[in-house]
Structure 1
Amino acid sequence: MSAPTSTPATHHESVAAKLSTLDRWLPAWIILAMAAGLLLGRLVPGLGDALSAVEVDGISLPIALGLLVMMYPVLAKVRYDRLDTVTRDRRMLLSSLVLNWVLGPALMFALAWLLLPDLPEYRTGLIIVGLARCIAMVIIWNDLACGDREAAAVLVALNSVFQVIAFAALGWFYLSVLPGWLGLEQAALDVSAWQIAKSVLTFLGIPLLAGYLSRRLGEKRWGRAAYEKSFLPRVGPWALYGLLFTIVVLFALQGEQITNRPIDVARIALPLLAYFAIMWGGGYALGKALGLSYERTTTLAFTAAGNNFELAIAVAIATFGVTSGQALAGVVGPLIEVPVLVALVYVSLALRNRFPHQPTSYAVESP
């Protein structure tokens, strides 16, 4: 994604035509990355142990590095001096909070119990996924769909604050209190606010600080025009390189579990597919009802649909063990989320002309 060059009338076909080769074939690259990771995990003895030997807050160091590389370029593109235009949009902020912290967890709870009533470990894992709201990959999907970068930065930061405050309490409510009220089987989630804060600080705080400093120091040295036309195009592709690297490592770590338990993966996938579709569609419907621009509606929808799989996996492993069903459910999360949200990027681009646009909307980069 680059500086604004398109007009609101830009048609979907012309948008797709301007995608770089890397962006245009993104679904294929992601499928290849998944396949490569699964094959590496099965064919290279001891690879999983080597990749998980060094961890950052319960996450394999290679995955942590991949996530940081993935997020930095997009956060370097944010115009931080425009964030006040987002914080004044109380309709969008309130809508995002309701979607993420009221509807999202409740929907995942309902889908998990409806579709996995006989599989308590997977059900608990999915509920944890539903509680872990987006702070990482959603920035990539939003940028690919030409959403509002500044709005994405604000909503992700807002989710991060609420994640630290509300994750443990909501986990207790949805795993222990609400099932007890409904006469269902109860579970427990032992996770501290500090554990959640470490995840947020690691996977959002570091790239956010790096992106902010790049913008401030880069504009001060070269000026905004040179920063956006020279520096950003050089670092931009690294977001997708980081994404693909993360996918390869993630599936290399969990390839054996995924390939050895295909029926379990399919059962976990069903509620996840329903969840992503409902949350994304609900975000778009709400944005349309509120009269939001395409850019902010897109951001609202993707921040509602995306999840912080890093935190969900880390919590599941720390609480229930690396070989637990809860951990497998967390791993299947990105297996389903990545291709589904990539597909929804293209659906979003097809909807561009059905919404009003902001005065300056982001266009895709030329190849």
Structure 2
Amino acid sequence: MTATDTRPAGGVPTGLSTLDRFLPLWIGAAMAAGLLAGRWIPGLDAALDAVAIDGISLPIAVGLLVMMYPPLAKVRYDRLDTVTRDRRLLIPSLVLNWLVGPALMFALSWLLLPDLPEYRTGLIIVGLARCIAMVIIWNDLACGDREAAAVLVALNSVFQVIMFGVLGWFYLSVLPGWLGLDTTNLAVSGWQIAKSVLIFLGIPLVAGYLSRRLGERRNGRAWYETQFLPKIGPMALYGLLFTIVVLFALQGHQITSRPLDVARIALPLLAYFALMWAGSYGVGKAVGLSYERTTTLAFTSAGNNFELAIAVTIATFGATSGQALAGVVGPLIEVPVLVALVYVSLALRRRFAPSRVESS
């Protein structure tokens, strides 16, 4: 999953490191360690949250950047044109991300949380923030198309800067008003969204691009892909596990002291991730995409930009608000669910005919 794609179609990877083979176990352990640390170590959550970038803890930011760099360093940037010409991929991605996803989260939030307006608002904001970070690693673990993931994430970033505020206004104020429901105002600047994109996508994307260009120029592609990439590959999972520990530690006390609230928030999230992933996977298969690009479409459509959602809810409603808690619970549910879907995706691989080489 990190060094080489040696997985048999539809099966569990073979010839992998211990870290890769037991990934669900390590993620479960990281979640448990974070929860226990946040619950039992006095002042840990305050210390972790003391240094923040626009509402995002600096340790989380560091973990995400470390996590995203190796997959983006693996992208063959000279192949991106094969993705930008694929309308069967680009058009469904835009529709699923910017029409279906927000509408589905709006419907699920009102259907399952009609009596909890703060949590409902927080989840609607999560639905508006399309994924530009963790999806890179889910796609890589599931043997998706790295070049396609890079293009779709970049596309989501552009639309995020343009559409997030507009969609927030529509789904929190306009549409509820039309339906006779309670309305909410969302004040968020385009610069705040742009900063999130620049930090969490721009930095690792530039680093990955420069690594490949400079590495290949100096030592050739064979050296870069057989010597350099295997060395940096494990960094992605180390960064993921570190991020999970910090996330759970920051909210360990709230999660363990308010389990019923967390369960109520988790229900629409579970439905959302399952429906978006399965629906997107079905669309990819129906339009004739390869396994790699179907997988990329599914994960880029199902994931959400929790960094932006948390930052917006904290800045607008406060760090202790119900909206902020809903934003934080988002990745806590997303991580185990999308890890499970990585294995579902690999199991479905045998249903696809062998594809042309579109990714490595």
Query: Which TM-score bucket, shorter chain as reference?
Result: over 0.9
Instruction: Give the one of 347, 352, 360 matched to 1:350.
Output: 347
Separation of aligned partners in 2, 1:225 and 1:340: 36
8 Å contact kept, 2:2–2:20: no
Shift in Å at residue 53 of structure 1? 1.1
> Deviation digits for residues 273-318 of structure 1, max 9, x if unmatched?
0000000001111011101000000000000000001110110111
Closer, same or farther in 2 for the Cα pair 1:136/1:330, shift >3 Å? Answer: same
In structure 1, C-alpha distance between the alignment counterparts of 2:188 and 2:109, rounded to whole Å: 21
Alignment of 1:301-340 (within 5 A): 301-340=298-337
How far 1:169 moved relative to its partner?
0.5
CA contact 1:4–1:360 (8 Å) conserved in 2: no
Partner Cα separation in structure 2 for residue 235 and residue 356 of structure 1: 31
Q: Which runs of 5+ in 2 are unaligned?
A: none
Matches within 5 A, 1:264-275: 264-275=261-272
Aligned AA (2:9)? H
Task: Determine the structure 2 residue equivalent to 1:63.
Answer: 60
List gaps (5 residues or longer) in structure 1: none
- Give the C-alpha shift of residue 20 in structure 1: 2.6
Q: 1:202 aligns with which of 175, 193, 199?
A: 199
Q: Distance in 1 between matches of 2:319 and 2:55?
A: 10
TM-aligned CA deviation for residue 46 of structure 1: 1.1
2:276 counterpart of 1:279: yes
Amino acid at match of 1:11: A
Among candidates 238, 244, 247, match of residue 235 of structure 2: 238
After superposition, give the CA deviation of every residue in 1:31-69 in whole Å (9 maximum; x if it has no partner).
111111111111111111111111112211100000000
Counterpart amino acid of 1:31?
G
Distance 1:238 1:2, change over 3 A: closer
Hey, what does 1:107 align to over in structure 2? 104
CA shift for structure 1 position 252? 0.8
SS of the residue aligned with 1:12?
A: coil
Q: Partner residue of 1:74?
A: 71
Superposed, which structure 2 residues align to 1:108-257 within 5 Å?
A: 108-257=105-254
Partner residue, 1:12? 10
CA drift at 1:90: 1.1
d(CA) in 1 for partners of 2:15 and 2:318? 45
- 8 Å CA contact retained: 1:292, 1:356: no
For 1:297, the equivalent position in structure 2 comes to 294
Q: Percent of pairs identical after alignment?
A: 80
Cα distance in 2 for residues equivalent to 1:38 and 1:6:
34
How much does 1:2 deviate? 6.1
* Separation in structure 2 between the aligned mates of residue 337 and residue 17 of structure 1, nearest angstrom: 26
Q: Describe the shift of the 1:199–1:17 C-alpha distance in structure 2 as closer, same or farther (beyond 3 A).
A: same
Q: Structure 1-normalised TM-score?
A: 0.96
Whether the 8 Å CA contact 1:148–1:299 is kept in 2: the answer is yes
Q: CA deviation at 1:18?
A: 3.3
Output the CA distance in 2 between the equivalents of 1:332 and 1:361: 35
Quick one: distance in 2 between partners of 1:41 and 1:112?
28
Q: Is the 8 A contact 1:104 1:304 kept in 2?
A: yes
1:218/1:227 contact within 8 Å kept: yes
Report SS of the residue matched to 2:229: helix
Contact 1:68 1:207 in 2 (8 A): yes
1:169 counterpart letter in structure 2: V
Are 1:2 and 1:228, in contact at CA under 8 Å, matched by a contact in 2?
Answer: no
Amino acid across the alignment from 1:310: E
Paired position in structure 2 for 1:43? 40
1:219-263 C-alpha deviation (Å, 9 max, x unpaired)? 011100100000000100000000000011111111111111000
Name the TM-score, length of structure 2 as normaliser: 0.97
Contact 2:4 2:230 in 1 (8 A): no
Aligned partners of 1:4 and 1:361 also within 8 Å: no
CA RMSD of aligned residues (A): 1.4
1:121-174 per-residue CA deviation (whole Å, 9 max, x = no partner) reads 000000000000010000111000000000000000000000000000000000
Q: Distance in 2 between matches of 1:66 and 1:85?
A: 31
Three-state SS of the structure 2 residue aligned to 1:16 is coil
Structure 1 position 362, deviation (Å) = 5.9
